[in-house]
Structure 1
Amino acid sequence: MTDFLDDLKGKYAHEPTFLQAVEEMALSLKPLFEDPEKGDYYKRAFCAIAEPERTLKFRVSWMDDAGNLQFNRGWRVEFNSVLGPYKGGLRFHPTANEGILKFLGFEQIFKNALTGLAMGGGKGGSDFNPKGKSDAEVIRFCQSFMTELARYLHPSTDVPAGDIGVGGREIGAMYGQYKRLKNKHGEGILTGKGALWGGSPFRPEATGYGLVYIMKIAVEKGLGKSMEGMRCALSGSGNVCQYAAQKCIEFGAKVISVSDSNGCVVFEDGMTTEQLATMIDCKEVKRARLSTLGEGFGTYHAGESPWSLEDLKVDLALPCATQNEINGEAAARLVKNGVVGVGEGANLPTDMDGQNAFRAAGVIYIPGKAANAGGVGVSGLEMAQNAQRLTWKPEEVDTRLKDMMAYIYQQMEDHAPKGGTLEQGANIAGFIKVVQGMKELGWFY
């Protein structure tokens, strides 16, 4: 494995986040690689999985409101289709690049495997920045992006969803363009759709709700406690954070922080439902910064994150913003301030030093591929509803989501090696499913 990782680093030195994800996964799978009978088999399988099946790159041309032609880069990393069609979101953000999307697609393989649904792993997006753009500019960009991507999509081949920078507005514009191009209606080639045209109940809420559902199980089973009264620090203020905050409040926990890229807000006595509604209006309607909310919306700390504040007492940390937001220093600070559990609402928000600090302190740590799998899980349920030409009742989707998160937690427990962690259990469970699928299809032996 050392030779393989060194070779990978030589090939993809310009993709550090992807290399980080692969190395972290390899370290977590060490018990399998050291198995005297199947160790070499698992190593070879891992080497195969770490290369995408296909990477699509394309130019996206679009017209701004001033009539100027603009250009962005677009990608779709179709990483692994062993268990089903490629499934994973589209990210529109200026930091998006091929390496970031490969890291996300690699994680998605094992996340999707944990759900128990027939979904492979993929990811895509563009370095287009929706912030500061008019609705008309965003719609024109989305139409151009879908014009390029549509030729590769099919319900049985590749089914993208949303991610950072891609919400209901963007999904709607892309799906509308697909319908124009293909003259096919009702095809489930995107998930996260609106309720009027094939969307699923609870899809917007699914990632945030699922995060809190699995953390509730972890707190009750792992700590023998209740979430009621626990101080939950959340980062981010988008879709995942919003619904995680709502469910935390419903369970009697105190949401003590939210954030955006400019700073964070602290609610020392816990966020109220009124303050949550204010934040949702700010982000989803006005598309403004938290700094504009002023008095009555907690205490604003410019240039800070919940993980940089020295004396913020925390029971549960729920990072819901972006990758590598919690480093070793921030993790040590959280441990000092009383954290007992960490659940990742974002993808890989804790770097290797941070993870090591949590492990050393005995903190319950549930990685993103398990903790935030509820989103893609309900995307899979949306695909099932589209195939049936039916829409299930909200209660049915919510029940399935709860059951799915309980199933994921059970897999983590069942596959964690003796003396190991829940994180190892998640990685091993997902990896073994993918390898078994490769073997049964004759793709690896």
Structure 2
Amino acid sequence: MTTLTHAPAESTIDPSLRHVYREVLRRNAGEHEFHQAVEEVLGSLGPVVKRHPHYLDERVIERLCEPERQIIFRVPWTDDAGQVQINRGFRVEYSSVLGPYKGGLRFHPSVLLGTVKFLGFEQIFKNALTGMPIGGGKGGSDFDPKGRSDTEVMRFCQSFMTELYRHLGEYTDVPAGDIGVGGREIGYLFGQYKRITNRYEAGVLTGKGLAWGGSRARTEATGYGTVYFADEMARHAGRSLEGKRVVVSGSGNVAIYAVEKVTELGGTVVACSDSSGYVVDEDGIDLDLLKDLKEVRRERVGAYAEERGGRARLVQDGSVWDVPCEVALPCATQNELDDEAARTLVRNGTWLVAEGANMPSTPAAVRVFQEAGVLFGPGKAANAGGVATSALEMQQNASRDSWTFEHTDARLGEIMRNIHQRVVTTAEDYDRPGDYVFGANAAGFTSVADAMLAMGVI
């Protein structure tokens, strides 16, 4: 992951909006990822406010840059040695004009308030693009579940929910999982919520187990959705993913199911990664082995190379983006793909990039792709399948129903196709054909802004 050490330049922002960005910098000092997310959206809104100046007159953009609510709390818990540990918990309830706050919880040592605010800000527009009635929010903690026992994770989750529960509800705020928060953590969180409230409110959390209110295809949704979106991008350009060489960064939930769907569509994923390095398998990543290592044994990708023998190699320095490919799917974490990596991909013939993670490409990397004519799908559009399927899980919980995998997957595919069409149409309407970044930002923003104006000064 690349960490920004200074705020991005405001030169990409229309002069009419630069005062908004400066105020964001002043009010949110040191929150560089949040600055980056705001700069990226504001950089697209110049043509929008020129066509619709009332967005400026009503100060809608300033309102959107300020979360409706920011919650920070202490999370004390006891480890297996009997030592008291202290972590910090966050929930940023960013925008509820389209529905209850919706967005994941991330448990990772890198989580700070600025991290959660950047993710929540992105979530507003991502959720709007789905067309589902959900607002935007995000949360998490600097707790690291890696290396912790199940009982330690349980005690942490119970302490975390003991504070957070008072802010949640199926009509108020509905968290899901994210990095470090999978089925185990969601189970512990839901159990504590049920215990404290004495309510079986299944719709208060998504990503639940199938036996207690979860949705089929939710586990696969973000990775599948990213590939569905990439496939639509390729088709729109008169091309296909079939027979293409693909590199996927990461090896967590999103990456695993991106690999699975690429393989189903006839592509070959030749590399994936984790924090210890990356593996290259020219025959194509062995999905069964990868799932076993990551979902069952929780091991590093080095074990993949060992078990594949001479058919795969582990690289512990450099970047997974050094591996030549035609299609790149960054599915790990924010700012993992910088301008140097982007230039390497362009030199190696990459023609399509779709973001499975949230803001994995730095602004400089995005510029490299756009200047080179690479098809670039930003995360707020390309990885919206996860939250869309979470909204489908909420529908099932509300109706006391359970859908088949095939039905849910079909709905997911339909939603991703609709997002792609909406992004493309919006870009073309503003004479920006092929500009997926602009189309996603403009389409998501106008949905939220119009709803805000309809509800008055909120």
TM-score bucket (shorter structure) = over 0.9
Distance 1:305 1:380 in 2: 35
User: In the alignment, which residue of structure 1 is the partner of 2:127?
Assistant: 112
Residues 24, 65 of structure 2: 8 Å contact kept:
no
User: In the alignment, which residue of structure 2 is the partner of 1:424?
Assistant: 438
**Deviation sequence 1:138-183 (CA, Å, 0-9, x none):** 1111111111111111000000000000000000011011111111
User: In the alignment, which residue of structure 2 is the partner of 1:180?
Assistant: 195
Deviation at 1:66, TM superposition (A): 0.3
TM-score norm. by structure 2 comes to: 0.93
Partner of 1:163: helix, strand, or coil?
A: coil
User: In the alignment, which residue of structure 2 is the partner of 1:374?
Assistant: 385
Distance 1:295 1:338 in 2: 30
Q: Does 1:69 align with 2:80?
A: no
User: In the alignment, which residue of structure 1 is the partner of 2:452?
Assistant: 438
User: In the alignment, which residue of structure 2 is the partner of 1:251?
Assistant: 265
- Number of residue pairs the alignment of both structures matches: 436
Q: Does 1:196 align with 2:211?
A: yes
Deviation at 1:53, TM superposition (A): 0.3
Residues 262, 304 of structure 1: 8 Å contact kept:
no
1:32-431 matches, within 5 Å, as: 32-35=48-51, 37-38=53-54, 40-41=56-57, 44-222=59-237, 224-271=238-285, 275-293=286-304, 294-296=306-308, 298-307=312-321, 309=322, 312-416=323-427, 417-420=430-433, 421-431=435-445
Residues 235, 305 of structure 1: 8 Å contact kept:
no
Distance 1:85 1:354 in 2: 33
User: In the alignment, which residue of structure 2 is the partner of 1:26?
Assistant: 42
Distance 2:318 2:183 in 1: 29
Deviation at 1:303, TM superposition (A): 3.1
Distance 1:347 1:379 in 2: 16
Residues 170, 201 of structure 2: 8 Å contact kept:
no
Return closer, same or farther for 1:36/1:400 CA change in 2, 3 Å cut-off: closer
Partner of 2:88: helix, strand, or coil?
A: strand
Partner of 2:97: helix, strand, or coil?
A: coil
Distance 2:328 2:410 in 1: 25
**Deviation sequence 1:296-335 (CA, Å, 0-9, x none):** 162110133312x2xx221111000000011111101100
Residues 168, 194 of structure 1: 8 Å contact kept:
yes
**Mean CA deviation greater in 327-336 or 2-11:** 2-11
Q: Where in structure 2 are there 5+ consecutive unaligned residues?
A: 1-16
Distance 1:176 1:345 in 2: 30
Deviation at 1:186, TM superposition (A): 4.0
Deviation at 1:284, TM superposition (A): 1.4
Distance 1:303 1:135 in 2: 32
Distance 2:457 2:221 in 1: 33
Deviation at 1:39, TM superposition (A): 6.1
Residues 55, 449 of structure 2: 8 Å contact kept:
no
Q: Which residue identity is paired with 2:282?
A: E
**Mean CA deviation greater in 105-114 or 133-142:** 133-142
Residues 18, 99 of structure 1: 8 Å contact kept:
yes
Distance 1:186 1:11 in 2: 37
Deviation at 1:47, TM superposition (A): 1.2
Q: Which residue identity is paired with 1:258?
A: C
Match of 2:25 among 2, 5, 9: 9
Return closer, same or farther for 1:3/1:28 CA change in 2, 3 Å cut-off: same
Partner of 2:72: helix, strand, or coil?
A: strand
TM-score norm. by structure 1 comes to: 0.96
